[in-house]
Structure 1
């Protein structure tokens, strides 16, 4: 039986390389390497053995030295071929890649132009706490080094904390900031909604007879006043009742605190009365809004 003649494989089309693109990519890589060397190379030429030995030395030292080790790791990673850096970290430096990544992140953070001058001060907190603070804003860390606070904590307070306590405090601060942001966003939304409703109401009453406009405005304000009164007689009074029950059980007197709250409400109402030059109402007269013509 005759053999079937095999068909030649179709030619594979290859996309010609774009010389300009290759040159541009090479130039970009060279620029990145130069930038890293300028920032972290200490003015010395690249030399793998020297950098590995220096990184190994600094790894055993203080937090400030850890940042120096991170600098060497950054330079090594930028200059070594893909995959070679990870091999150096594991085999020659004897550290997990995750640790090397954190050290490089710390160096990029604390040796940035804004924080480099503050790094020696911040390094007094130790390596672990520098890692915990790495997510904070540069401006906040700069203020911390100058005597300010981060998450309401000073340098001395952070120094006295355990790493777990610091982590929890920073987490609580971020959650509080997020909650405050949500409250402010809702308040802004509510204000915008009120403005939109006011614009709609203003357009609605334009062109209406004056007596109709006055009546609608008074009804609207009366509803608002009723809401305030209902809150005072409802939720506020309910809170006072709970405090009174607690006072009976625990023997603690809350009346001074409650009196301060009432005084604040009185101040607010008095300021409104003063702002609009409102006369004092006679005790034996019925409120104007109860008059028949207001119904």
Structure 2
């Protein structure tokens, strides 16, 4: 007798309502992820835009069409690449803002499009920075006259440039001298003016040193109270620490950034070298900590004894 085969078992179809709910949940999650990404991107764009506008305001650069787009800034620089002083300063301002507007490693590529050597661009930026806080009157602009003279005047201190702008004279250098001299003559005159300013600064420093020595002798004869002396020492320590931090956050960080930009263009890698320098800094910090048995302060940097004192004062104030 033949055995009948079993019919295959067919799984029941999922309810349409269940499928619709799962699809809706998946769609909602995808839309939420898209919105989150869009929000993060918008925040990043907003922060970048604010940083570019801050640099533009700092150097007095008028953004083209009030826009932070690097392409528009680059076109504006091209339009200003003439030899007049105002145009040179505007080029420098534009380059300063363009550098801020560019992503890491893109600034040098845009300089190549503009046909600007990076060192020439650095001089334009230096000029824009130095003259950004000086009232550029028509008299001063006409006296400088050319790009060559403008770049020569970068050797002057900020105070000397301000004196020229406000009074037309700094030391033995006048605006008439700037206007009538050749570039070579102006270079020699500026060298003399800088030497004169340096001599005056050294004389002032010598007088201040003499005064400091007199104050030191006076303190030996009549030493200040312990609390006053401690305040002076703390101020001295604070000054030295702030100077070190300024160098670290300023010159050291800037030199690392310049080296990184160069490596990005040249296809080189200096990370090991920079890491070695940072290791030296870290070692110096560790030696200070070990030398004076310093506590490892974390958080806001407030020592425990100061925190306890502040807590006691708050408690006393609350009880009062």
State the TM-score, normalizing by the size of structure 2: 0.46
Whose RCO is larger (CA < 8 A, sep 6+)? 2
Mark the structure with the bigger radius of gyration.
1
